[in-house]
Amino acid sequence: MGLEVESRPSDSPYIERVWRSTSDDVGGMTSVATASWDLVFWEHLGRVNVSLQGPEPRASRAEVPEHATFFGIVFSLGTSMPHIPINRLVHGGAEIPDATRTSFHLKGSTWRLPDYDNAEEFVRRLVREEILASDPVVTATPDVEDLSERTVQRRFVASTGLTRGAVRQINRARQAAVLIQEGVPAVEVVHRLGYFDQPHLARSLTRFIGRTATQLSRRNPPEPLSLLYGS
């Protein structure tokens, strides 16, 4: 009952995570902040939907349709679709219309719907067709040579929609949340991840995760979280 989520890592440099889920007897979830964007497919009441879900710079509440199935590809930082400016997706998304049970349209071409097991093959085709690209400046950050800080920051924002500082804060908060869910005391999380003190950690969790450390420690929260995983 609720929101059942399964996910796996990927050996593709373009993919951070592949996930799928089903919803039952749940009306919403806490959508945690994320520096990545997703390509999401879901079926509800016999209708197939496809959308791009952009980076989320803060936690928010999201509605979840009941009795729906979902599948998504989380793309690696620095990966983008150049024909869709990433800044249009930040804290939002874009629906891809006219999807069917077998196909959808993207950049003038018809694509077969991928699934949880063949996501890598689908992404390889996106790369071959030059629909998907990766910025080496972003993937190499912070060890980028022969480029000014201003240039690196500009390329980073253009590729991710976020600043490097924002990405670091989001990723640290997500890591902190995972550690707390694993039973690591908050005081130890502060020291492991370089927070100034526990109030600093608390503010970060509230802003980016939408939960306090105590709430994250509960085994049966009143509302599920969106996809949250360790490194």
The whole-number average pLDDT for the span 214-224 is 84
User: With 80 as the cut, is the pLDDT of residue 49 above it?
Assistant: yes
The whole-number average pLDDT for the span 91-95 is 92
The whole-number average pLDDT for the span 159-188 is 95
**Would you place residue 57 in the very low, low, confident or very high pLDDT band (cuts 50, 70, 90)?**
very high
The pLDDT value given to residue 208 = 97
Instruction: Kindly tell me the sign of the dihedral angle through the C-alpha atoms of 78, 84, 90, 92.
Output: negative
The pLDDT value given to residue 142 = 52
User: With 80 as the cut, is the pLDDT of residue 231 above it?
Assistant: no
Average per-residue pLDDT in the chain? 91
Whole-model pTM? Answer: 0.91
The pLDDT value given to residue 14 = 97
User: With 80 as the cut, is the pLDDT of residue 47 above it?
Assistant: yes
The pLDDT value given to residue 228 = 85
User: With 80 as the cut, is the pLDDT of residue 195 above it?
Assistant: yes
The pLDDT value given to residue 197 = 96
Percent of the chain with pLDDT over 90: 73
User: With 60 as the cut, is the pLDDT of residue 141 above it?
Assistant: no
Contact predicate 161/89, CB 8 Å: yes
CA angle 155, 105, 16 (to 5 degrees): 45
